Structure formats: structure tokens, C-alpha cells
Amino acid sequence: MCLEVAYEALVVKNITELDKKKQVSIDELCDLMNGECDKGTKMFAIDHLHYFEFNNSKERLDIEIKNVMHKLNEIARTRNVAIFLIAHYRNNTN
């Protein structure tokens, strides 16, 4: 019952999907999110966070992810929006 109600509520909403044929940097994502906030978007769902381009390939992946979380948290706090992150990580650290 709850899924049906959620589906009916969401089916009429606009959903913006990124181009799946190219990688996007986190800065590009943040710019897109800020633009969407200006249009009234209140919720973002970001899947496959590990596919985004990271700024500094020499940095440890966990530090890169921490920096991304800070950027996304800044948008969430300043723009008063919800951000759901879905990531599928393996342990890449030595």
C-alpha cells in the first residue's frame, strides 16, 4: 500500500537524470544541484557515487569521498534540501 501511494505521488514529478555515457565531476554535479535548487527542487537521489570523477587522483579514495561529502553537505545545509546517496564500494584501501 505505501509503495503504491509513493509511486502515485512520484510518477507526476520531474526527474532529471545525468547522461550515463560520460563521467561527471563532483563540481559539475554541485553546479547542477544548485541550479535545480533555484528551480525549487527539494530532494536529490545520487546513485553510483563511485562513478564520479574525483578531483585529485593522487589523493586516497577515502579522503576524496570525505571531501565530496563536505561539498554535498554544504548544499544540503545552505539550500535546505535532502540528499540521498547510494554507493557500492569495495574495500579499495591497502
Q: Are 5 and 47 in contact (CB under 8 A)?
A: no
- DSSP-derived 3-state class of residue 21: coil
User: What interhelical angle do 61-79 and 26-38 show, nearest 10?
Assistant: 10
- Alpha-helical runs (H) found in the chain: 2-10, 26-38, 61-79
The average pLDDT across 35-58 equals: 80
Going by C-alpha positions, the residue among 26, 29, 36 that lies closest to residue 68 is 26
Ranges of each domain in the chain: 14-86
pLDDT tens per residue, range 48-59: 776 677 766 677
pLDDT tens per residue, range 1-35: 788 887 888 778 777 777 777 777 888 889 999 99
**pLDDT in the model for residue 92:** 56
The per-residue DSSP string of 82-93 comes to EEEEE-------
